[in-house]
Structure 1
Amino acid sequence: MKRLFILIAVGLMSTAAFSQTKTDGVHIYNPEANAMADLKAATEKAAKANKHVLVQVGGNWCTWCIAFHQLVDTTVVLKQAINENYEYVLVNWDKDHHNDEAMKYLGFPNRFGYPVFVVLDGKGKVLHIENSSYLETDEPGANGKKKVGHDVKKISSFLKGWTVAAVNPETYKSK
């Protein structure tokens, strides 16, 4: 009877392990990309368009990175906020591609984990590094525990807070 119980338990654990969502096959980051060239191009484009650059650092191995990217891609208000105010760049970091030069240039944002976001101005100056854990939801799930994922309102607030207009002192002068 004990063996039967152990076999059933092992079978259930195996099934649960294989049924979990995997990120294999999802490739939003390009490990072979030249991160510095991508940052330079985005900065030049942002300067011409009077925008900032939003850099998302992460990797295809990172379920939170992919979940964030998919949330932005499927949420109109987030997609619109990014398209209107930022040049959006994905910078890969994985065990084989550390992009050390880009990490140094961006102020070593990877110290906060992944994904991590960096806002650059049109000259390439780092304005802000955002730890993505601050953008996670506080909502309780059906089980009473905190839901897993990012919060659209928190992301919207973050994006609005770092636009060109938001950081321009002229925006706040009395008329």
Structure 2
Amino acid sequence: MTMQKLISWTLPLVLLLIPCTFGAAQEEVGEKKAVKKQVISVYDVEADASADIAAALARAHKNNKRVLVVYGGNWCGWCVKLDEFFKKDRKVARTVRYEYEVVKVDIGRFDKNMSITEKYGAQLKKEGVPYITVLDGSGKVVANQNTGDLEEGDHHDSAKVETFLQAKKAPPQDAEKVLAGALEQAKKDGRKVLVHLGAPW
């Protein structure tokens, strides 16, 4: 086969493969973008919200904290803003860390985990998201809060949010009563008491 004939046979094949290669490259870029979006999602759409709340309540009961249930969705700009605010505002982040167990509940398009919102009396469909429910260690509702009241312009107001969180946190326990109760129970069970002194910070 002459060189001219070889070129005439191979050139169309090369040209045929170029669109395929370009298409594959576009598909790969699309996949990378999809992965990136998935990584920055605030709400876990696969989470078992009821189980997460139950686990948070157990920790809150043990550590004298409250549970902060935050309803929202990854499509909601204010929901993403609130999540970032809880992390970036130093005073608020400190309060959330030491006084609360946080559970983020994905509500889909107001068609998911609605049984949870009904259980705690959260008025999402009326007042929108993000929306907050505060529970005590026993699961009792302490407060339901429309976060629109905590906003100022295009952002969440640090003073308003901090005031709300401080007002709804668990009251400090009486150390003497806790110790007396532990000593009484230990006496009944024939056990000793380990006293741990510390602070949340």
Identify the TM-score tier after normalising by the shorter chain: 0.7 to 0.9
Structure 1 residue ranges, 4+ long, deviating more than 6 angstroms after superposition: none
TM-score where L is the length of structure 2: 0.63
1:100 match:
114
> What is the alpha-carbon distance in structure 2 between the residues aligned to residue 116 and residue 48 of structure 1?
25
Alignment: residue pair count? 136
5 Å matches for 1:128-167? 128-137=143-152, 147-165=153-171
Q: Which has the larger radius of gyration?
A: 2
TM-score where L is the length of structure 1: 0.73
Name stretches of at least 5 consecutive residues in structure 1 with no aligned partner.
Answer: 1-23, 138-146, 171-175
Amino acid paired to 1:62: C
Instruction: Give CA-to-partner distance per residue, 1:20-72, whole Å, 9 cap, x none.
Output: xxxx9230101111111111110111000000001110010000000011011
- Select the residue among 49, 60, 75 that pairs with 1:46: 60
Task: Specify the SS of the correspondent of 1:124.
Answer: coil
2:18 match:
none
Name stretches of at least 5 consecutive residues in structure 2 with no aligned partner.
Answer: 1-35, 175-201
> What is the alpha-carbon distance in structure 1 between the residues aligned to residue 87 and residue 165 of structure 2?
15
2:129 match:
114
Amino acid paired to 1:153: A
2:70 match:
56
The answer to which structure, 1 or 2, has the higher relative contact order (CA under 8 A, 6+ apart) is 1
Task: Specify the SS of the correspondent of 1:79.
Answer: helix
> What is the alpha-carbon distance in structure 2 between the residues aligned to residue 96 and residue 112 of structure 1?
12
Q: CA RMSD in A?
A: 1.9
- How far 1:101 sits from its partner (Å)? 2.2
